[in-house]
Chain A
C-alpha cells in the first residue's frame, strides 16, 4: 500500500529539488592582506534532482564535498555558482556569466519550513543549555505556528513519533545517549512537517547497533509522512536499504549515479567498485574480492589532479585519464545510469 502510493507520487511528478551545476568554493587566504591564493573546490559542478517521496543517497569518502553539497542546497553555506530549485521557487541561481538571483532573506526563512536538516554529530547539534522541549519546539515559535500548551502538545507528539517518552520534555541533552540525541535531532527536523530533509550523515557518529535503529526510524518516518530525503553517507552499505537512487561523489563531483538496484548490481566506475568492496561481508566463508585502490590519500581539492580527479588512485587508469576530464554521461542506452569515466565513453 505504502509502496503503491510512493510509486504514484514518484512517476511523472516534477522534481521536488533540482540542483544544477552547483559549485561551492572556499577561498584560501594567505599573507598580511589576506590575498586569495586559491580555492578549495569542495563542490565543483554537481547536478541532481529528487522527485517527491524519493530518497537520493549521496555517498563518498571524507572531504569529497557531500556534506557541503547538502548545506549549500539549504542555503546554509553561500554557493559560488549553480542553481537550486525547490518546487516552483528558485532558492538561488548564480550564473557563470555573473547574473544572480537569490531568494530574499525573509522568503528563505519562510522556505525553511519545507526543507530541514538532520546533522551528523548528535552531541554538537543540540544546544546544551536548552531543554528537549525548547529544542524541538523552537521552530514552532520561530514560525509562529504554536505556543504555550499547544506547542507542548505538538512537541510531546513529535517525541512519541521518534520513539522517545514525552516525559523527557524538560530534560537536557546531556542526559541522553547518542542514539536518543539523534532522535531529538530528528524530532526537531520534523517539527515543521517539511517536504525535504537533508540527512547529513545521520548515523555516522553512532554505534553500529544504534545505526540500524535510526535508519529504520528514518525509513518509517519517510513512508509515514511521504518525505523526500537527500541522504548523505560515507558508506554505501548505509544507503543501500533506504535509497531509491544513489550518487557517488569524488572530490567535489558526482562520478556515478544510478538507481539503487543497478548501482549495487552493476557498478561501473572504478571508484564505486572500491567503495563497494570496502563494505564488510558478514560471512567468513565468502572470500571478499577486494578491488585494490592504489596507494595514497585522496588528492587535495585545492589542486585537483589533471584529467580525471580519480586517476592517481584508479586501478584501471590509462593514458587518457590524466589528460582529459571525463564527463558525467548516460551509459549507452541506460538513460538513468550516469557515469563519468573514460572506460565507457
Chain B
C-alpha cells in the first residue's frame, strides 16, 4: 500500500536512484583508493605547473593544493559524510522517537524527569562533551559517532514528546482506551503511525546537521583526520584556499555540489515517504 504510493511519486523515486548512485560511487571509491595518494610524478612533470590544477580531461574536478585528484577525494569523503549523516538520523529516529514517545505517554513525574535529562544534555557545552569522550576513547573516529549521536536525538525526542502529548488528547485514543487497549498498544498502533510525518521531516533535517557537525569536529581535530577527507573538511579546506588572488573555485564547488545534491535527494525521499505513509494522499 505504502510502497505503491511511494512508487507513484517521481521526485522521490528519482531521489532514491540518485542517492543510490552517489552512495555506490562513494563507497567503491573509498574502498579502492588510498586516502593520501597524489598524482604521479610523471604527470606532474608533463603538466609542469604547481597545484591546484583546474578541472581538465584527466582530472575532471581538478586537483587540490597538495596535488590529489579532487574527484577521488570528493567521492571517498562522501562515504564518511554519508555514514555520519545516516547514522545520526538512525540514532535520532530510534532513540529520539522511543524516548520522546515513552515520556509523553507516561506523563507526570516520569515525563518531567525524562525531559529534564534532555534539557541537561541540550544545555551541556557540546565541545566539553566531546573532549570528555575523547579522554576515554583511544580511537577518534568512534568519538565522532558517539558525539554526534548523543546530541542528534535530543530534538527528535522533544518533537515526538510534544506530538504524543497532543495526540493523546485525540478522541480516537480515548476510544482505544475505552475498548480496553493498553498503553503499549496505544503507543504502537495509534500514536506512532500518526507521528510518521514529523519523524521523517525531523530525520531529514538531522542528516545535513550531522554532516556539518562532523566537519566542525574534524576542524578541531576530533573527527576525520588528514589525509582522510569528508565533504565538510573538503569544503572548509577550500574556503581557506579560495581568495581573490587564486580563484580555485572547483575546490569549493564540487564538494558542495555533492553535499547539496544529496540533501536535495534526501528531502525528496523524505517527502515521498511522508506522503506514502499518509492514507489521505491516495488519488
Chain A residues at the B interface, C-beta cutoff of 8 Å: 71, 74, 76, 109-110, 112-113, 116-117, 119, 121, 124-130, 138-139, 142-143, 172, 174, 185, 188, 192
Contact = CB atoms under 8 A, between A and B. Distances in A.
A270 B153 CA distance: 60
Contacts of B190: 127, 130
Contact of A76 (B170, B172, B174, B181): B174
A174 B180 contact: no
Nearest to A123: B171
B244 interface: no
A172 B277 CA distance: 12
Kindly list the 6 A-B residue pairs having the minimum CB-CB distance in the complex, ordered from nearest: A112-B180, A129-B193, A124-B171, A172-B279, A125-B171, A109-B180
Looking at B171, B185, B190, the one whose CB has the most chain A CB atoms below 10 A away is: B171
Is chain A's interface secondary structure helix, strand, loop, or mixed overall? Answer: loop
A138 B280 CA distance: 21
B194 A119 contact: no
A131 to B, nearest CB: 8
Looking at A128, A129, A143, the one whose CB has the most chain B CB atoms below 10 A away is: A129
9 contacts: A71-B174, A76-B174, A110-B180, A113-B180, A119-B171, A124-B172, A127-B189, A130-B189, A143-B180
B175 A125 contact: yes
B179 interface: yes
Contacts of B181: 138, 142
A112 B278 CA distance: 31
Contact of B179 (A128, A172, A188): A188
Given A128-B279, A128-B280, A139 B171 contact: no
A127 B180 contact: no
B194 A129 contact: yes
Contact of B178 (A74, A124, A128, A143): A74
Interface in B150-187: 170-172, 174-182, 185
Contact of A142 (B170, B174, B185, B278): B185
Given A125-B172, A126-B175, A172-B282, 15 more contacts: A74-B178, A109-B182, A112-B179, A119-B175, A125-B171, A127-B189, A127-B193, A129-B277, A138-B176, A138-B179, A138-B181, A142-B181, A143-B180, A172-B280, A192-B179
A113 B180 CA distance: 8
Contacts of B174: 71, 76, 119, 125
A93 B176 CA distance: 24
Interface in B183-202: 185, 189-190, 193-194
Contacts of A174: 279-280
Contacts of A172: 279-280, 282
Contacts of B279: 128-129, 172, 174
B193 A139 contact: no
Given A172-B280, A174-B279, A188 B180 contact: no
Nearest to A125: B171
Nearest to A139: B179
A78 to B, nearest CB: 12
Contacts of A121: 171
A4 to B, nearest CB: 32
